[in-house]
Each structure stands twice: as structure tokens, then as C-alpha cells.
């Protein structure tokens, strides 16, 4: 078993270090190799996703990814910006299904970060499409004849892209409560009308799953109003990005949300995937030892479960994180004072 480790920028290296300590403590015999990605790779090589980093990811059973984003790269052309590295990896590795679980951990139900009316009732999974949408449509920038600047990003989906993520959503729902909410903007967008039509077609193959449709604006409102109504949500790249950040605040903090990006490729032990916290590089707190590493530790657990076939070890990590929270070891994101290493130590002690 071999994993690629891409810590990236900002708090990425700090939170990844804690996840690796947890993996090491379990002594699972996983070989690993580290490579540069994002701003760190740009500064060292002139490219945010160097060919050697992509080759390492391709040759591994799974990728543990920290975060990318670096204010020092803000003035660069778009194709050189750190964020292009994660988009490039998702596209080049055909990782089209991004699973983003969000649940209230036991012990946090009465936490002040949670509103009492929703606490304890949230356990949902957002299935975000990752290979299409405005992220990958035609983009452009020009200065018009009148001297006005204009930019565009084309929102585009084809039928097969929607079909494969719809299958991922239905399969996820089959493994949970057999309810799927498809989120789109079909009253306005052509892509969303296609999305809805295709999801309805795919639904015929899953008669055991109850399907509902929701417009994205309503879904945002409902997530704030009563997040407990959702189980599995399937949606596009942009809507999924926004809704999962919103969902993170329903369960306390973005510092708790892990993710798995999966495609069709099978490894000897499971499905090849890339695993990352949903948060970014948080440059404002980078290097200060303040970041909550739990989302990355939980991402490592997802790696063990999905790509390496080590479900028992994944269960142990998830239980240790849950116990850490229940024991009141909270990062600043949750109103506590525990730092990155302290949280890592606390999880290690509860393995
Ligand atoms: N760990 C997540 C991360 O680094 N996010 C930075 C980012 O720009 N992501 C783009 C996206 O997920 O849409």
C-alpha cells in the first residue's frame, strides 16, 4: 500500500503532519511519499502541479492532500495559481465524486456553536460533482471597445458527467437512509434542466431510493432552517462547494469536515481517491499552530476506508476524534483553546 502525501500551503502542512502521526501510530505498513503542490510547488518549480507530483499521485493507491492557496500568488495568471493544482488533480485523475459528510459529533450537541433547534439532528452527506461546471467551462477576460473589463466562466455539463455523479448519489443513498435530494437551479439554468432530466432518468434504476429535487437557493435556506431534513444531497461543483461550507457551520466548524474525491479506478484494496479537509489554506493562521487538524485526520480515515480497505483502522480514528471532542478538547474554531499539536496528541491518546 502506497499513499502520496501533498501537504500544500498555509495550514496544509501543519494539519497533514497530525494526520500522518495518527497513521504512524496505527502501524499499518503504509508506504508514503511526499511531494510539493500549490503555492509551495510554484515557488520551487514554477508550476503549482509539477508533473512529478501528478505522476506520484497516479502511482499511488490514494492521496492525502492538505490545502492550497497562497496570497503571495494572488497576482499570478490563473493557470499558475495554487488552486489550479487541486483542480488539475481532480480532472487528471478523473475524481468526479466528492463525498463530504457533515454530522454533529456526540458531545458537541449542546455546544454554543450549534443552534439548539438543530443540534443533534444532523448527519448528512453532500455528493459534489468535481469535474464539470463553471470550474472547467470556457473562461475568458477582455476589455470591451468602451474600455469596460469583462470576464466569463461558462457553466457546462454533459449528460455523461451528470449520469455518473447521479449514480454516485443514488448508491450513497442506498447505503444510508435511501433518501436523495438533488440540488439544482432548473428554473433558470440550462445545465440544471439537463441535470434534473438525467437525475430523473437514473432514478428509474434505483426504485428503492426516494428522490426529491430542490433549487439551490431554497437548499441553502433549508440547511440553515432545518438541516436535519437532509440525508444525501447530490449537486454540481459550484453549488456543492458553497453548500458544504454552509453545512459545516451547521455542525460546528469547517475544521471538522473531511472529504473523499473518488472516480472509477480500482486499486488492489479499494477505490483510488484523493482525501482532503474541505477547508482551505487559512493563511491568516498558518504557522501559528492554531489550526484544527481533525478534518485532515478524518480525511485520512476516509482514505483507509475507501482506498486501502482498512475499515477497522478508519473506525478507530473516527472514534478517537469523536472521543476527543466529547472530552472537550476543542480547537479555537469551536471556542476552545487547544492548538494543532495538542489536538493531534489528544486524538493519538484516544486511539
Ligand atoms: N483542502 C481544500 C482546499 O485546499 N481548497 C482550496 C480550493 O481552492 N479549492 C477549490 C475547490 O474545492 O473548489
Give the nearest ligand 1 atom to 67 CA: 4
Which residue pairs from 23-30 have beta carbons closer than 8 angstroms and sit at least 24 positions apart in sequence?
A: 23/300, 23/304, 25/348, 25/351, 26/313, 26/316, 26/317, 26/351, 28/1, 28/304, 28/308, 28/310, 28/313, 29/1, 30/1, 30/2, 30/3, 30/308
Q: For 216-248, write each residue's pLDDT tens digit.
A: 999 999 999 889 999 999 999 999 999 999 999
Give the nearest ligand 1 atom to 276 CA: 1
Annotation-wise, does 163 bind a ligand? no
pLDDT of residue 109: 74
Q: Which three cell numbers stand for residue 124?
A: 448528512
**What's the CA gap between 75 and 254, in Å, rounded?**
27
Active site residues: 135, 185, 217, 241, 245
Distance 145 CA to ligand 1 centre (A): 35
Residue nearest atom 8 in ligand 1 by C-alpha distance: 83
Backbone angles phi, psi at 286, to 5 degrees: -60, 140
Q: Complex ipTM, two decimals?
A: 0.91
Q: Is 280 in the pocket of ligand 1 (CB under 6 A)?
A: yes
The CATH code for residues 1-99+258-351 is 3.40.718.10
Residue identified by cell 477547508 is 279
Residue spans of the chain under pLDDT 70: 112-113, 116-120
**Comparing C-alpha atoms, which of 248, 150, 276, 133 is closest to residue 192?**
133
| Domains of the chain by residue range | 1-99+258-351, 123-250
Residue identified by cell 459534489 is 128
**What's the CA gap between 242 and 133, in Å, rounded?**
13
pLDDT of residue 106: 79
The CATH architecture that domain 123-250 belongs to is 3-Layer(aba) Sandwich (3.40)
Say if 1-99+258-351 and 123-250 have the same CATH topology: yes
Pocket of ligand 1, candidates 19, 68, 299: which has the most ligand atoms within 8 Å of its Cβ, to mutate? 68
Residue nearest atom 1 in ligand 1 by C-alpha distance: 67
Sequence length of the chain is: 351
pLDDT of residue 112: 67
Q: Is 83 in the pocket of ligand 1 (CB under 6 A)?
A: yes
Amino acid at each position: 500500500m502506497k499513499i502520496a502525501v501533498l501537504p500544500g500551503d498555509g495550514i496544509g502542512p501543519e494539519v497533514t503532519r497530525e494526520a500522518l502521526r495518527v497513521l504512524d501510530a496505527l502501524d499499518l505498513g503504509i508506504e508514503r511519499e511526499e511531494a510539493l503542490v500549490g503555492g509551495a510547488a510554484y515557488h520551487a518549480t514554477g508550476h503549482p502541479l509539477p508533473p512529478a507530483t501528478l505522476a506520484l499521485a497516479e502511482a499511488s493507491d490514494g492521496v492525502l492532500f492538505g490545502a492550497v492557496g497562497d496570497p503571495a500568488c494572488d497576482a499570478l495568471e490563473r493557470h499558475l495559481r495554487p488552486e489550479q493544482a487541486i483542480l488539475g488533480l481532480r480532472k487528471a485523475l478523473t475524481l468526479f465524486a466528492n463525498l463530504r459528510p457533515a454530522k454533529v459529533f456526540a458531545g458537541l450537541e449542546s455546544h454554543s456553536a450549534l443552534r439548539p433547534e438543530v443540534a443533534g439532528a444532523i448527519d448528512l452527506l453532500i455528493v459534489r460533482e468535481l469535474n464539470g461546471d463553471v470550474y472547467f467551462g470556457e473562461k475568458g477576460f477582455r476589455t470591451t471597445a468602451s474600455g469596460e473589463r469583462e470576464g466569463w466562466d461558462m457553466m457546462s455539463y454533459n449528460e455523461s458527467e451528470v449520469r455518473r455523479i447521479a449514480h454516485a448519489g443514488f448508491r450513497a443513498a442506498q447505503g444510508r437512509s435511501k433518501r436523495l435530494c438533488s440540488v439544482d437551479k432548473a428554473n433558470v439554468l440550462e445545465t440544471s434542466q439537463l441535470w434534473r432530466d438525467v437525475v430523473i432518468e437514473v432514478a428509474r434504476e434505483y426504485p428503492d431510493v426516494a428522490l426529491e429535487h430542490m433549487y439551490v437557493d431554497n437548499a441553502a435556506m433549508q440547511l440553515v432552517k432545518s438541516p436535519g431534513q437532509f440525508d444525501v444531497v447530490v449537486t454540481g461543483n459550484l453549488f456543492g462547494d458553497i453548500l458544504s461550507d454552509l453545512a459545516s457551520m451547521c455542525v460546528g466548524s469547517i475544521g471538522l469536515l473531511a472529504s473523499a474525491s473518488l472516480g472509477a479506478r480500482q486499486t488492489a484494496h479499494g477505490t483510488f481517491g484523493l482525501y482532503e479537509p474541505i477547508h482551505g489554506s487559512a493563511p491568516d493562521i498558518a504557522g501559528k499552530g492554531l489550526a484544527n487538524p481533525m478534518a485532515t485526520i478524518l480525511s485520512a480515515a476516509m482514505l483507509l476506508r475507501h482506498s486501502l480497505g482498512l475499515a477497522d483502522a478508519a473506525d478507530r480514528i473516527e472514534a478517537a476524534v469523536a472521543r476527543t471532542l466529547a472530552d472537550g478538547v476543542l480547537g479555537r474554531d469551536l471556542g476552545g483553546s487547544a492548538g494543532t499539536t495538542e489536538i493531534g496528541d489528544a486524538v493519538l491518546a484516544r486511539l
